[in-house]
Chain A
């Protein structure tokens, strides 16, 4: 399990997705498409299979959170896999749309 911290970039082992940790939570396993996220600069290990039921996709520029929003990640590259923490799917963070102010 990678120890996550704010600013850390991780990538999917089963699709093109990449995320950046915004708010970290200790002792949590982050997955994409059912497979553990790996360091963004690492090479994906061979033979990692995606869990088809978790290929729900993640969109660039969207923030994903766990139930109590103690964990938050930003998708910086889109992919076909869905994000989860300790097996529970992360959900889109509901952001209020603000008018441009600068």
Chain B
């Protein structure tokens, strides 16, 4: 049980079908598999214990992932946006590493500890020259396939590990082999060091769906590439989708993605307003909301296209509300909501999301976060409705505890976002002498508008209750997001200091 079998099966079934397209060229499944085998030989001969990648998206991403798997070494993609000091700190934890490094970052990867650095282009050229078959060793299914350093809000980044058995379970449980027609193509914009970037490579290869890589996202490039490559599928994080919609509305000369059949989104909280706008603009497209974590091998719950259409066209408030849900668990995933005392919550009762299943790793090199019975506490808060639809309200650590009362930022944000001039909002805990913590709201208004703080406070008071009213409202130009669209609440908190 090894993730390299996905590529092997695709290459044996469709050796000449195009697997991957990027600015450097077009690569067939056969070419990718040959390169992955040559990479595995290089990796094995190097004596290195890890395969690192410090680079933007290219075919080297798929080759390194599969080559590492064939050689039985953990694949560790690193975030090229880290500072030099942060990067050295991580590189020191994966020695000796066989490091594939983009030309722009060559000088940044330390060779201390026996690590060997290969420039991406030179690495790929070497592979092309090697046409011998690699006699791959048997790899234990519990060997580590991927190690990802989590961004971590405080302290040293944790090393999440995903074993072959987790990733194989995820792919076999969610993707049908060669289910894609030859004309299907998926536009991949998430960076290689994100779990969604890794699962996109595996899912697409197993479905035999062509990957179209866009290394640096801009809405214009995304739309032009979707048009020129006749892209049928895409995965986007919330900020990408809202920027694509804004640009399409503003600039009528931009090409509409006419071949697009399905867009999946995830990686952060998607405002309901953006989903509605997306359904308005792309009525023919199937939308899927995917919820997952690094520690769960990516997606664990889905709001599928039928759910979107039902919610979009329903007059029933509880059905309509599901546009803001992340859907229901995948067939192979068990899910429970538990309260602070560990009791399993009933429908519509809020608590922490727990999951269990063969794709759930829940493991860091530093410690195993799985409970003895296999359940993984996600640290995400939320509730499930009477039909099992999951609604998330944020990270358990983001909950505001005001005078002993637990307040979820999401419910206040939803109320503020319903004001027509409010573009974006983040609600965070701010220290309070009286209450321990109280509510702060950082608000982004539409350009050229102004709204009194008192108006927003009154909205919250009317819709919720007085304890939820933001004590401080700050108007800011923009909120801080990381490159995958995750709101950086720890930075928002500093605005109130």
Question: Knowing A61-B176, A96-B331 touch, does A76 contact B262 (C-beta < 8 A)?
Answer: no
Q: A102-B235, A102-B264 are in contact. Are A97 and B176 (CB under 8 A)?
A: yes
Checking B1, B12, B203 against A7 with a beta-carbon cut-off of 8 angstroms, the contacting residue is B1
- Tell me whether A6 is interfacial, beta carbon within 8 Å: yes
Interface window among B24-32, B297-305, B343-351, B426-434: B297-305
Which residues from B are CB-within-8-Å of A22?
1, 168, 172
Q: For chain B residues 1-17, which have a beta carbon within 8 Å of chain A?
A: 1-2, 5, 8-9, 12-13
The answer to whether A102 and B5 touch across the interface, beta carbons within 8 angstroms, is: no
Q: Could you tell me if A101 and B290 are in contact, using CB atoms closer than 8 angstroms?
A: yes
**Chain B contacts for A95, CB-based, 8 A:** 173, 176
Q: Is B364 an interface residue (CB 8 A)?
A: no
Q: Which residues of B contact A60 (CB under 8 A)?
A: 9, 12-13, 177-178
A6-B1 contact in complex given A74-B172, A102-B203, A102-B264, C-beta closer than 8 Å: yes
Q: Could you tell me the distance between the alpha carbons of A102 and B304 in the complex, rounded to whole angstroms?
A: 13
Q: Would you give the 0/1 interface string for B295-339, flagging 1 where the beta carbon is closer than 8 Å to chain A? A: 000110010110000000000000000000000001100000000
Is the Cβ of B200 less than 8 Å from the Cβ of A99? no
Query: In this assembly, does A80 line the interface, its C-beta being within 8 Å of a C-beta of chain B?
Result: no
Q: Which residues of B contact A21 (CB under 8 A)?
A: 1
Interface residues as binary, A84-102 with B (CB distance below 8 Å gives 1, 0 otherwise): 0000000000011111111
Interchain CA distance A67-B134 in the complex, whole Å? 38
Say yes or no for B196: interface residue by CB 8 A criterion.
yes
The answer, among B139, B264, B292, for a CB contact under 8 Å with A100, is B264
From B1, B12, B262, B266, contact of A99 by CB (8 A) = B262
Smallest Cβ-Cβ distance to B139: which chain A residue:
A7
**From B5, B235, B288, contact of A20 by CB (8 A):** B5
Q: Who on chain B is nearest to A96 by CB?
A: B331
From A61, A77, A97, A101, B266 is in contact (CB under 8 Å) with A101
**The one of A61, A62, A96, A100 that contacts B233, using a Cβ cutoff of 8 Å:** A100
Give Cα A76 to B206, complex, Å: 12
**Does A11 touch B at the CB level, under 8 Å?**
no
Q: Which of A7, A60, A77, A101 has the most CB of B within 10 A?
A: A101
- Beta-carbon contacts under 8 Å, A42-82 to B: 60-63, 74, 76-77
B276 at the A interface (CB under 8 A): no
Interface residues in B, total, Cβ within 8 A? 46
Interface SS of chain A? loop
A-B contact count (CB 8 A): 82
User: Which of A6, A7, A63, A100 is close to B288, meaning CB atoms less than 8 Å apart?
Assistant: A100
Known: A63-B172, A100-B233. A20 touches B203 (CB 8 A): no
**Contact flag A98-B199 (CB < 8 Å), given A6-B1, A76-B5:** no
Instruction: Give Cα A24 to B305, complex, Å.
Output: 35
A: interface residue count bin = 20 to 34
| Shortest beta-carbon distance from A76 to chain B in Å | 6
Chain B, Cβ-Cβ closest to A61: B177
- CB-defined contacts of B173 to chain A, threshold 8 Å: 95
B377 / chain A contacts, CB cutoff of 8 Å: none
User: When the two chains form the complex, which single residue of A96, A99, A102 contacts B199, counting CB atoms closer than 8 Å?
Assistant: A102
B150 at the interface (CB under 8 A from A): no
Task: Kindly state whether residue B111 has any CB partner on chain A within 8 Å.
Answer: no
User: Bound complex: CA of A60 vs CA of B5, how far in Å?
Assistant: 12
Cβ of B438: which chain A residues have Cβ within 8 Å of it? none
Q: Does B165 contact A (CB under 8 A)?
A: yes
Interface assignment of B141: CB less than 8 Å from any CB of chain A: yes
A interface residues with partner B (beta carbon < 8 Å)? 6-7, 20-22, 60-63, 74, 76-77, 95-102
Of the A-B pairs whose beta carbons lie under 8 Å apart in the complex, a sample of 24, sorted by A's number, is A6-B1, A7-B2, A7-B165, A20-B1, A60-B13, A60-B177, A61-B177, A61-B178, A74-B172, A76-B5, A97-B179, A98-B302, A98-B330, A99-B264, A99-B304, A99-B305, A100-B207, A100-B209, A101-B203, A101-B264, A101-B266, A101-B298, A102-B235, A102-B266
Residues of B within 8 A of A (CB): 1-2, 5, 8-9, 12-13, 138-141, 164-165, 168, 172-179, 186, 196, 199-200, 203, 206-207, 209, 233, 235, 262, 264, 266, 286, 288, 290, 292, 298-299, 302, 304-305, 330-331
Given A7-B2, A20-B1, A97-B176, 11 more contacts at CB 8 Å? A20-B5, A22-B1, A60-B9, A60-B13, A61-B176, A61-B177, A61-B206, A99-B288, A100-B207, A100-B288, A102-B264
